[in-house]
Amino acid sequence: MADSSYSGKDIQVLEGLEAVRKRPGMYIGTTGPKGLHHLVYEVVDNSVDEALAGHCTVIDVNIHPDNSVTVVDNGRGIPVDNVPKYRKSGVEVVMTMLHAGGKFGGEGYKVSGGLHGVGVSVVNALSTLLEVEVRRDGKIHRQSYSCGKPQGPLKPAGNTKTTGTTITFMADASIFETLDYSFDTLSTHMRETAFLNKNLKITLTDERELEPRREEYRYAGGIVDFVKYLTGTKETLHSKPVYIDSTGAEGTVEVAMLWNTGYTETVLAFANNINTHEGGTHLDGFKNALTRTINDYARRQGILKEKEDNLSGEDIREGLTAVISVKLREPQFEGQTKTKLGNTEMRGFVQSVITQQLAEFLEEHPKPARAIVSKSTQAAKARAAARKARELTRRKGLLESSTLPGKLADCSVRDPAFTEIYLVEGDSAGGSAKQARDRSFQAILPLRGKILNVERAGLNRALGSEEIQAMIAAFGTSVAEEFDITQARYHKAIIMTDADVDGAHIRCLILTFFYRYMRQMIEEGYIYIAQPPLYKISVGKSHTYAYSDKELQEHLTTLPSTSRYQIQRYKGLGEMNPEQLWETTMDPAKRTLLQVSLDDALAAEEAFSNLMGDQVEPRKAFIQRHARDVRFLDI
């Protein structure tokens, strides 16, 4: 009788999961490292939803030596009862039906969604093995799946006094390019999630090392701790971040703000724990309110005179680190990468909450209020001066590509879609690169030593630096407010530095410049990092290269024990002759390039503001830790 409809629905389910396996990109974006990490985020998101609903306080994430991952939570546990409509257990519905999330039970408490929120069934479909354990009503229940298919029914497996869900999955190596999870990438995400969910404890354990690495994130201050973390060791204008929160029919909004004496603006906006890189209504509402309220205050206090212009939003946000976090029932995500919040009701809601509570804060805290206004007026003056300097420089033609820098060896092809520019550390390596290159499409710009640290100098002084002028002129895009990506003369800019600590530092300086003044180049995926080899291994007349110590060891073990070999360690690009440089690092057919992306705002902030700021020691430590590991920028 009902059997036919049962199997009919079953077939639908299988077709659904099969579709995910056939076109994984449609569901998780990519099958590269980014997609792989998304699987973990997706599973964790489900547990975070339990926390948002007020039923879960601890989430443990564990990377096992075989690259499987376990996520444990102490929530209510996925419902195990039969769902009449589907004639399956709740667990099986969640695990096999697309978008079944937490909503099937009626009451839609689930506020997460958008970029993740594709459902844990997608993770199931893309895993060769997935095991789920539910602790609920005093009982333990287990079920396992392979490529999304149940390997048997949900079975009782003993008694327990606790509640919660444990999911272990092994991503399908035939679908993903790699199963190599990056501890740093997961750590950044878990920390960010902990910041956004006050008091939620998340632990991350990596069992792949002999000595397991474990970190724990739990922040009683939530986003207040987040802005403190982002501010790092910078000097601040006030000691306690400004904190505003409110709940209305539209949802909830929370904002934390802390101004430092630096020049850069770091404003991160989240909707339902998702980083809305492209902004949206919540960010617009915040910015409008901030600009208006500070201007109103400055006028009322007589700091801004009647005849003076209003302070601009940019002036007010100079040196500001802020986190805006909204939570709402039905988020609409728009934009190219679906990271722009579209809900129109959020603009007015955020704007009125911020306007009211910020005005109150300013009245009640005159000291920080005056410091913030005075910083903004100084910013306005500096901005006017920088504009003048830029006009002067431009009049001299230094930033324009009509006068290409003398050191640039340009390529002959004109279509930027096919051309690339190598930014090379040092004149001697630059010379080798010029000989090695394919001059039709590869341009070379040698940069002398350490370029100026723009994080500490500000745009005005940066424009005085010859190396920076040369880069801007070569790219053809101009810079800062005048930056125009459509004028880019190359769609690949490849940073090529020595594989040592100095090289890592120079790479960081160049990236800082892009990050602050040509961010779109990173967003568009124009920025790459070259990977020169660390070793040359010669056996008789043949040779190979190793790009890491691990690769060297692996290669040596493949050699017959009788063979005599020689290892050359490259200390810098300069030790390679042009042929070697071409063969190992520049030949598009053989080289590996790491594309720099900004997906992980937190990682980028850690790298750029804390490290390129005033303090030397944390920077040194970080650079040494990451000297050969640029993954923190890469995923």
Chain positions contacting ligand 0RA, by CB under 6 A: 46-47, 50, 73, 75-76, 78-79, 94, 102, 105, 165
Given 45, 410, 425, 634, the catalytic residue: 425
- C-alpha neighbours within 13 Å on the C-beta side of residue 341: 33
What's the min distance (Å) between Cβ of 470 and ligand 0RA? 53
Give the integer Cα–Cα distance in Å for 101 and 121. 9
Backbone angles phi, psi at 295, to 5 degrees: -65, -45
The nearer residue to ligand 0RA, 107 or 364, going by C-beta atoms, is: 107
Give the integer Cα–Cα distance in Å for 485 and 504. 26
**392, amino acid identity:** L
What's the min distance (Å) between Cβ of 76 and ligand 0RA? 4
What's the min distance (Å) between Cβ of 137 and ligand 0RA? 10
Instruction: Establish whether 498 is a catalytic residue.
Output: yes
Per the structure block, which two tokens stand in for 379?
């910013």
Secondary-structure percent of the chain, ordered helix, strand, coil, rounded to 5: 40, 20, 35
The nearer residue to ligand 0RA, 48 or 468, going by C-beta atoms, is: 48
Given 502, 523, 575, 599, the catalytic residue: 502
The nearer residue to ligand 0RA, 100 or 380, going by C-beta atoms, is: 100
Backbone angles phi, psi at 122, to 5 degrees: -70, -40
**Closest-CA residue to 147 (of 22, 35, 26, 9):** 22
**Closest-CA residue to 123 (of 201, 69, 181):** 69
Residue with token string 């990056």: 182
What's the min distance (Å) between Cβ of 24 and ligand 0RA? 21
Give the integer Cα–Cα distance in Å for 441 and 421. 8
* CA–CA distances in Å: residue 310 to residues 285, 292, 345, 415, 487: 18, 9, 27, 43, 32
The nearer residue to ligand 0RA, 133 or 606, going by C-beta atoms, is: 133
Give the integer Cα–Cα distance in Å for 6 and 88. 9
Backbone CA torsion sign across 578, 584, 589, 593: negative
**212, amino acid identity:** P
What's the min distance (Å) between Cβ of 11 and ligand 0RA? 24
Given 498, 583, 605, 606, the catalytic residue: 498
The nearer residue to ligand 0RA, 135 or 536, going by C-beta atoms, is: 135
Given 345, 500, 523, 599, the catalytic residue: 500
Per the structure block, which two tokens stand in for 241?
């971040």
Give the integer Cα–Cα distance in Å for 421 and 471. 10
The nearer residue to ligand 0RA, 104 or 441, going by C-beta atoms, is: 104
Per the structure block, which two tokens stand in for 146?
């392979």
- Tell me how far apart the 2 most distant CA atoms of the chain are, in Å: 87
What stretch of H or E contains 594?
strand 593-595
What's the min distance (Å) between Cβ of 75 and ligand 0RA? 4
The nearer residue to ligand 0RA, 72 or 623, going by C-beta atoms, is: 72
The nearer residue to ligand 0RA, 71 or 534, going by C-beta atoms, is: 71
What stretch of H or E contains 472?
helix 466-475
The nearer residue to ligand 0RA, 73 or 467, going by C-beta atoms, is: 73
DSSP 464: T
The nearer residue to ligand 0RA, 21 or 76, going by C-beta atoms, is: 76
Give the integer Cα–Cα distance in Å for 598 and 620. 22
Give the integer Cα–Cα distance in Å for 557 and 26. 41
Question: By beta-carbon distance, which residue lies closest to ligand 0RA?
Answer: 46
Distance of CA 606 to the CA centre of its chain: 11
As a whole number of Å, the end-to-end CA separation of the chain is 52
> Which runs of consecutive H residues, i.e. helices, occur in 409-453?
427-436
Per the structure block, which two tokens stand in for 346?
């959020």
**Which residues are registered as beta bridge partners of 444?**
409, 422
Contact 71, 59 (CB under 8 A): yes
What's the min distance (Å) between Cβ of 282 and ligand 0RA? 27
What's the min distance (Å) between Cβ of 167 and ligand 0RA? 6
Instruction: Establish whether 425 is a catalytic residue.
Output: yes
Instruction: Establish whether 502 is a catalytic residue.
Output: yes
* CA–CA distances in Å: residue 598 to residues 47, 184, 511, 527: 26, 15, 11, 11
Per the structure block, which two tokens stand in for 78?
């996925």
The nearer residue to ligand 0RA, 79 or 368, going by C-beta atoms, is: 79
Give every strand in the sheet of 266-271, ordered side by side.
Answer: 242-248, 251-259, 320-327, 266-271, 274-275
Active site residues: 425, 498, 500, 502
